Amino acid sequence: MQDKEFTTDTLAVEGMEKAMANHKENIHFDTQTSSFEERLLVRKQDLRILPLSAGIYLLCYLDRSNIGNAKTLNNDTGNDLLQETNMTDYQYMQVDLLVVSPRNNITMLTKHSIALMVFLIAYAIFEVPSNYLLKRLRPSRWISFLMLSWGAITMGLGGTHSFGQVAGIRFLLGAIEAGLFPGLVYYLTFWYTASERSLRVALILASATLAGAFGGAIAYGVGHMNGASGLSAWRWLFIIEGAPSCASAFLVWFILPDYPETCNFLTSEEKALAAQRLSVEETDSERKSMTWSDAKSVLTEWRLYAHYLIYFGISTPFSSLSLFTPTIVAGLGYENLEAQLMTVPPYAVAYVVTVAVSWSADHFNARSIHSAVFAFIGAMGFLASAVLPADAYLHRYGCLIVAASGAFSCIPPLLGWLSSNIHSSAEIGLAIALNISFGAPGQIVGVWIYKSDQVKRGYPTGHWTNAALLLLVSVTCVLMRLYYGRLNKKAPHGQIKYAY
């Protein structure tokens, strides 16, 4: 009797164990299935959102930075932007601007710098309200409006004849373009989790490096149109590069999806999965617009100001490279249209490095360290450029490539790191806009540090300034990584509260 009871109990226990094992297997299978479905969903979103977003930002950056190409385009024939828009004060009779009297040359560069600076002032002012309107009016509608506006304004630059006209139109361009990059970063929070954003931001931001490469190549080609239909090449440059933005605006209006819940390219099951993924982080699109409580929470969160300081530091090299790469390259012994063409390799290499670094930062969930390391690498590139002899052209060109790769590649992980440490959709929108607005003063600094009277010395002020600020970025990233680590150790039950 005991043997029989023992056998029955044993069988019962074995049956329970098998049932539990089967249940675990089913759970494991469901998890795998869910993970597989999630990967398919993310891939489907990527194919629809990322190429379009990257293309939009490429056009934006092309229209923003082409003034740097226009500044030196065909200056050997007296048909560059600076000479033709300063008709009342100065007449340039010689091929090389550097041969003109230093006083005149510096004055011209100062006026050029002011035209760049008014763009950045407008850029800083209008970022926060633009992000608010993006959520209020739907992303596709607002971004389409921005594209049509900046495209038309860029084309309008081709018709300017004075410094005042250039400065006024650049201010309008800054006000319109201010909303795009923070808007796209905010827009990604409607579709992707925090661990997925850095790479996506990188693919969008890296299109700026492609724009830099394309901008040099386009300027090289357009330079041969000088005088066509009675227009100088720099005028054609603005017209040709502004027109695609206008045309693409109508396309974006119809095909850019606003939110996962309202798009038509996802099935009902995929929409439910997308909402489930984002509900954990409270970045769903159905959340109410920003309230005063949300704004107060962001404005009084003092740790965020360390992120803003970091972005200020990275904005100066980003701005100066964007606007003065043709000038820097011209100072390396390349002349006229050849200088435009030689701006392509630094941007092309920076594109590859930026995407690779951002993928690695997301993969290893270590955004702060990646930004710190590559900010340091960029600093070394600028530092080497500053200490090398001015006539070491080949070596300094290599340093420019290293500096550009380091400076550009650390930005996407920084933005991903910031958004990972804010867990409300409305707060993320404000924090991202504020972050990039704090970068505007850094971009203004970038306008002034490459001085024309230092060309024979290799632009030491610009290189030293960029090196110092990138070192500041690197050190602050490390300190914030340590600070967040300490906060996580104090969190209850080992809860990870802050991302690294």
Is residue 325 very low, low, confident or very high in pLDDT (cuts 50, 70, 90)? confident
Please report the pLDDT score of residue 8 as a whole number. 36
Averaging pLDDT over each range in 8-12, 205-209, 265-269, 337-341, which range is the top one? 265-269
Domain 2-494 has CATH 1.20.1250.20: yes
**Strand boundaries in 14-168, DSSP class E:** none
Tens digits of residue pLDDT in 390-409: 888 889 999 999 999 999 99
Rounded to 5 degrees, φ, ψ at 287 are -65, 150
Q: Residue 101: what pLDDT?
A: 30
Mean pLDDT, residues 4-28: 38
Residue 193 is given by DSSP the state -
Distance (Å, rounded) from C-alpha 80 to C-alpha 223?
10
Higher pLDDT, 152 or 197: 152
> What was the pLDDT predicted at 339?
73
Cα separation, 56 vs 181, in Å, equals: 10
pLDDT tens for each residue of 65-93? 787 778 777 777 777 777 777 633 332 22
The pLDDT, as a whole number, for residue 5 is 39
| Amino acid identity at 369 | I
Span 328-341, pLDDT tens digits: 787 777 776 777 77
- CA distances for 317 relative to 142, 361, 407, angstroms: 29, 21, 7
Which element (helix H / strand E) includes 438? helix 425-448
Q: Per-residue pLDDT tens for 206-236? A: 787 777 778 888 888 898 898 888 899 889 9
Give how far Cα 59 sits from Cα of 148, 304, 402, Å: 11, 30, 25
CB count within 10 Å of CB 140 equals 18
423 Cα distance to chain centroid: 21
Q: Give the distance, in angstroms, between the CA of residue 46 and the centroid of all CA atoms in the same chain.
A: 18
Lowest mean pLDDT among 53-57, 180-184, 452-456: 452-456
Identify the weakest region by mean pLDDT among 50-59, 95-104, 308-317, 325-334.
Answer: 95-104
Higher pLDDT, 376 or 138: 376
In this predicted model, which residue has the larger pLDDT, 152 or 216?
152
Which range among 53-67, 425-439, 465-479 shows the weakest confidence by mean pLDDT?
Answer: 425-439
Band of pLDDT at residue 434, cut at 50, 70 and 90:
confident
Residues 228/239, Cβ–Cβ less than 8 Å: no
Domain assignments of the chain as residue spans, ordered by start: 2-494
d(CA 418, CA 478): 14
pLDDT computed for residue 10 by the predictor:
38
Instruction: For residue 314, give the nearest of 446, 481, 204 by alpha carbon.
Output: 446
8 Å CB contact between 141 and 87: no
Mean pLDDT across the chain, nearest whole number? 79
Q: How many CB atoms lie under 10 A from the CB of residue 345?
A: 17
Average pLDDT on 416-440 reads 80
**Is pLDDT at 44 greater than 90 in this prediction?**
yes
Residues whose CB is less than 8 angstroms from the CB of residue 94 and which lie 6 or more positions away in sequence, other chains included? 100
Is 449 a residue whose pLDDT tops 60? yes
Average pLDDT over residues 82-110: 39
pLDDT per position as a tens digit, 340-366 = 778 888 888 988 998 899 889 888 888
pLDDT the model gives residue 423: 67
Q: What is the mean pLDDT of the segment spanning 232-252?
A: 93
Question: When comparing pLDDT for 200 and 424, which is higher?
Answer: 200
Q: Which residues contact 77 (CB under 8 A, 6 or more apart)?
A: 95, 226
pLDDT above 90 covers a percentage of the chain that reads 32
Query: Is pLDDT of 96 > 60?
Result: no
Q: Classify 166 as helix, strand or coil.
A: helix
Q: For the chain, give the number of residues.
A: 500
More confident call, 87 vs 282: 282
Structure confidence by residue, pLDDT tens digits, 363-394: 888 899 999 999 999 999 999 999 999 888 88
Q: Mapped to the 3 state alphabet, what secondary structure does 266-296 carry?
A: CCHHHHHHHHHHHHCCCCCCCCCCCCHHHHH
C-alpha atoms less than 13 angstroms from C-alpha of 239 in its C-beta half-sphere = 13
